[in-house]
Amino acid sequence: MNKVVDKLEDWKDIFIKNIPNIAIALIVLVIAYFASRAMNSIVNKTIGKKIRQKSVRDLVSRVASAVTILVGLYLAMTVLKFDDTLKAIVSAAGVSGIVIGLALQGTLSNTISGVVLSFRKNLNIGNWVETNGFSGEVIDINLNYFVIKEFDNNMVIIPNKTILESPFKNYSLTTKMRIAIECGVEYGADLEMVEKLTIETIKHNFNQDKIGKEVEFYYTEFGDSSINFLCRFWVDSENALEKLKAKSKAIIEIKKAFDKENINIPFPMRTLEFTENHRLNINEITNSKGSVN
């Protein structure tokens, strides 16, 4: 019993002796708490203009807030001279962090990739992109996945890690897109007239002077049924859907212009010629199989 009383007396003396340090530690913790809240708000406002994803903004601000709290806790434990306890906590946290990191390797990788993608200036919500075999509008860049809305309104969810490690094409980085149309005309057509008519049709429907580009026209090959050509021009467009609409309009207008001038766009055909030596003898066929009534 005396030993217990002596121990309590020792603790009381230690407590009284450390009252100033305890007071300072409490003040440090209170300051750290309010500083963490202020840090949360400041970081959220600071990165709000750069990161449109609320989930990512919340993550960054919470990390900043947690770091502030940890710094305050470290200072408080230093004031209380809990160096040995602090070392033990740090060691335990290090081992636990390794175990947790290995267990959540895929999730953490996607989360970090999401943060990195959010800071990229060449990729934002609303952009029209093509990546990993999918093409569409970027709807969301979350902490774990990347959402694309395709032409047919289907949503494609791709892990952030996959996006970060794969090349992607962003159609929204430029307001100009080049369209290529391949076609063919009959062998009897006036090729110079075809070229002039095609270029005039494109210029009439798509203002190339405004864009500052020229219409390109090249004959490419003697095909089986036609002489083929390639026509390239530019349009004001920020996504693949507008490009597809412009290409469709160009095909319609070129077909109308060709029909008006009686220029034929032939479909694949094969001409069979029979000479006297290869003419079929019906009598020989019927005699070999029997008589025909």
Find out whether 67 and 106 touch, Cβ atoms under 8 Å. Answer: no
* Max Cα distance, the chain (Å): 135
**Coil, strand or helix: which one is 212?**
coil
CA angle 30, 21, 91 (to 5 degrees): 80
Which pLDDT belongs to residue 49?
66
Residue whose entry in the numeric block shows the structure tokens 């003396």: 13
User: Is the fold of 122-171 the same as that of 174-260?
Assistant: no
Q: Which of 220, 213, 135 is nearest to 185 (CA)?
A: 220
Which pLDDT belongs to residue 12?
62
Residue whose entry in the numeric block shows the structure tokens 């077909």: 255
Number of Cβ within 10 Å of residue 290's Cβ equals 7
And the tokens for 3? Answer: 């030993």
Going from N- to C-terminal start, the domains of the chain cover: 2-103, 122-171, 174-260
Which pLDDT belongs to residue 56?
67
**Coil, strand or helix: which one is 277?**
helix
Regarding pTM above 0.85, the answer is no
Which pLDDT belongs to residue 6?
60
Residue 9 Rama label (left phi>0; alpha psi -120 to 50; beta): alpha
Which pLDDT belongs to residue 104?
46
174-260: CATH topology is: Alpha-Beta Plaits (3.30.70)
Give the span between the Cα atoms of 78 and 70, in whole angstroms: 12
What is the CA 265 to chain-centroid distance, rounded? Answer: 39
Given the candidates 3.20.20.70, 2.120.10.80, 2.30.30.60, 3.40.50.150, the CATH classification of the domain at 122-171 is: 2.30.30.60
Ranges of residues in the chain with a pLDDT under 70 are 1-18, 48-59, 81-107, 238-239, 269-293
Which pLDDT belongs to residue 13?
62
